[in-house]
Structure 1
Amino acid sequence: MKNFLFCSLLALSFHASPALSASSITEPAAIASPASACAEHYNIVISVSDKEKVELALGNAQNLQSELGTACTNIEIVHVSAAITLLGPMSQKAPLLKEALQHGVKLVACQNSMNKFKMTEDDLLPGITTVPSGVAEIVRRQKQGWIYFRP
């Protein structure tokens, strides 16, 4: 009886070892990246046109990252109209803008609005990107399934 149990356990260990070795082979590939560790991933586009709402939009982005997880969110703030005038390196909002960029928030300036205010890309804080039309960018993002938010 002891021999039967020993042989049965030995046979089971041989059958289990390929499964164990297979899982250890695939384990490194199964290591989750920060984004894949999210229960849900969020793509959020925020529109800001008023200078008075730039700080509010940045705070909203920070709150979203805090609540949903920085790795679980793609946040793009599209600045149109007068809001683009606060995107320069000498702006009173520059420290907040830099902080947002460091946390992975994409800051976008509307080229149409920049033209209206006689601004060039050289007038923008490094790291801020431009699009030909801010409203078209928002429409494209919505069509791609991004959540639209306006403070």
Structure 2
Amino acid sequence: MIQEQKFSDEFLNAFIDNQLTPEEKSDAFVAISQDESLNRRVCELRKVRDLVQLACTAPPPPPIHGASERCGLWSRIGFRSIAASILGLGIAIGWVLHTTTPHQIAPTGHQVSALTSPLPAKGIKVLLHLNSGDPERMNELLDEAESLLKFYKKTNQIARVEIITNGGGINLLRADTSPDPARIKRLYRDWNNLAFVACQNTIDRLEREQNINLVLLPEAVVIDSAVAQIMRRQLQGWAYIQV
């Protein structure tokens, strides 16, 4: 009961929308990683938020005679179609999780261990997801990761932080587009419980569409699919936040 009172839906929605202070977020990460029911609540709230956002961006009905009478019906159909699409995506992700294993392309043993070493029985596991190419978001992500790592070290807590990138977010780890490769190198050197992860699906798509040979920073680990990795980590009890 105390846990439910402390982490209200309003608080968790603020957590999902990245509107909390670093201390509040750290408390939330700890609780989410240790409480399965709280983790499920966060997942459900995030699904509701994403569904509402998709519904708000659904295309308007075509301008036909009597459109005002059909508006409500169109909205219901559009919303149900979106819900069905999300359900289908969930089924597809489940199949991916069932049939695939992580594919890692890592030039050093340190990078491999960052993803394949046994998970600690107790400890905080945080997955930070970036799918935006906005440099401000990238810097915000690095600030967030470093702040968390320092906080957990200061409070003597066992923690692992994984930064996973796909879509435009992969620019963070590209040798030709990363806004701050020196900082990434420093973070990787200073924190052996931090991993930088890039999505192979995004790499393949960019190389195909832009006819390039995409080169990543040496600190990056490549996995098969960011979506599948996110689902795997959540099933393993990782706290997930999209920056």
1:108 maps to amino acid: V
Question: For residue 151 of structure 2, what is the aligned residue in structure 1?
Answer: 67
Alignment of 1:2-151 (within 5 A): 41-52=123-134, 53-69=137-153, 72-90=158-176, 91-102=178-189, 103-104=191-192, 105-118=194-207, 123-151=215-243
Q: How far has the Cα of 1:107 moved from its partner? A: 0.2
Distance across 2 between alignment mates of 1:116 and 1:96 = 27
Question: For residue 70 of structure 2, what is the aligned residue in structure 1?
Answer: none
Q: Is the helix fraction higher in 1 or 2? A: 2
1:142 maps to amino acid: Q
4+ runs deviating over 6 angstroms: none
Q: What TM-score, normalized to structure 2?
A: 0.42
Whether contact under 8 Å (2:126, 2:161) holds in the other structure is yes
Q: What TM-score, normalized to structure 1?
A: 0.66
Q: Is the strand fraction higher in 1 or 2? A: 1
Distance across 1 between alignment mates of 2:128 and 2:143 = 11
Greater C-alpha radius of gyration: 1
Deviations 1:62-93 (A, max 9, x none): 01011111862110000010111231334332
Comparing 79-88 with 130-139, greater Cα deviation is found at: 79-88
Deviations 1:111-139 (A, max 9, x none): 1111121165x601112101110011011
2:147 maps to amino acid: N
What residue ranges of structure 1 are gaps of 5+ in the alignment?
Answer: 1-39
Whether contact under 8 Å (2:184, 2:219) holds in the other structure is no
Q: Secondary structure of 1:124's partner?
A: coil
Aligned residues: 111
Whether contact under 8 Å (1:85, 1:117) holds in the other structure is no
Once the two structures are aligned, what percentage of the paired residues are identical? 26
Cα root mean square deviation, aligned: 2.0
Q: Secondary structure of 2:175's partner?
A: coil
Q: Secondary structure of 2:185's partner?
A: helix
Q: How far has the Cα of 1:54 moved from its partner? A: 1.8
Comparing 86-95 with 103-112, greater Cα deviation is found at: 86-95
